[in-house]
Amino acid sequence: MRRYPAALLVCATLVFPARADEQAPPASFWDRAGEMFDAGKLLATGGVSDLEGAGGGGLATWALISGYGTRDAVGVNGHFTYIGLGSYSLWTEGATIGLFDRVELSYAYQTFDTKDVGAKLGLGQGFSINQDVFGAKVKIVGDAVYDQDTFLPQIAAGVQYKHNDKSWLISAIGGKSADGTDFYVSATKVFLAESLLVDATLRETKANQFGFLGFGGDRNDGYSTEFEGSAAYLISRRFAIGGEYRTKPDNLGIAHEDNAWDIFAAYFFNKNISLTVAYLNLGNIVIENNQQGVYVSLQAGL
Query: 10 pLDDT exceeds 60?
Result: no
pTM: 0.86
Written as one letter, the residue type at 102 is R
Q: Is residue 79 part of a domain?
A: yes
CA distance linking residue 153 with residue 212, whole number of Å:
32
Distance between CA 147 and CA 242 in Å, rounded? 22
Would you call 21 helix, strand, or coil by DSSP? Answer: helix
CATH of the domain at 142: 2.40.160.40
Q: Position 187: which residue type?
A: A
Q: What is the pLDDT of residue 36?
A: 76
**Structural domain harbouring 266:** 46-301
Q: How far is 128 from 41, CA to CA, in rounded Å?
A: 39
Residues in the chain: 302
Residue 286's φ and ψ, nearest 5 degrees, are: 55, -110
Instruction: Evaluate whether residue 213 is within a structural domain.
Output: yes
Domain count, the chain: 1
146 within a domain of the structure (yes/no): yes
Does 90 reside within a domain? yes
Which tens digit of pLDDT belongs to each residue from 176-229? 999 999 999 999 999 999 999 999 999 999 999 999 999 999 999 999 999 999
The confidence score (pLDDT) of residue 28 equals 54
Q: Which residues pair with 183 in a beta bridge?
A: 159, 204
Statement: residue 30 has pLDDT above 70:
no
**Does 6 fall in a domain?**
no
CA distance 163 to 213: 11
If phi > 0 it is left, if psi is from -120 to 50 it is alpha, else beta; for residue 290 that is left
> Which residues, 6 or more positions from 250, have their beta carbon under 8 angstroms from its beta carbon?
219, 220, 256, 257
In a domain, 16, yes or no: no
How many Å apart are CA 166 and CA 172, to the nearest integer?
Answer: 10
CA torsion through residues 142, 147, 149, 152, sign:
positive
Assign 128 a pLDDT band (cuts: 50, 70, 90): very high
Find the mean pLDDT for residues 46-74: 90
Q: Where are the alpha helices (DSSP H) in the chain?
A: 6-15, 29-36, 115-120, 167-172
Split at pLDDT 50, 70, 90, the class of 42 is confident
* Ramachandran angles phi, psi of 120, nearest 5°: -65, -35
Instruction: Tell me if 36 is assigned to some domain.
Output: no
- The pLDDT tens digits of the residues spanning 218-272 come to 999 999 999 999 999 999 999 999 999 999 999 999 888 999 999 999 999 998 9
Q: How far is CA 17 from the centre of its chain?
A: 52
Average pLDDT over residues 83-100: 95
For residue 9, tell me if it sits in a domain.
no
Compute the distance between CA of residue 302 and CA of residue 300 in angstroms, rounded to an integer. Answer: 7
Sign of CA dihedral 51, 55, 57, 62: negative
Q: How far apart are CA 269 and CA 80, in angstroms?
A: 16
Which H helix or E strand runs over 184? strand 179-191
Residues 137/103, Cβ–Cβ less than 8 Å:
yes
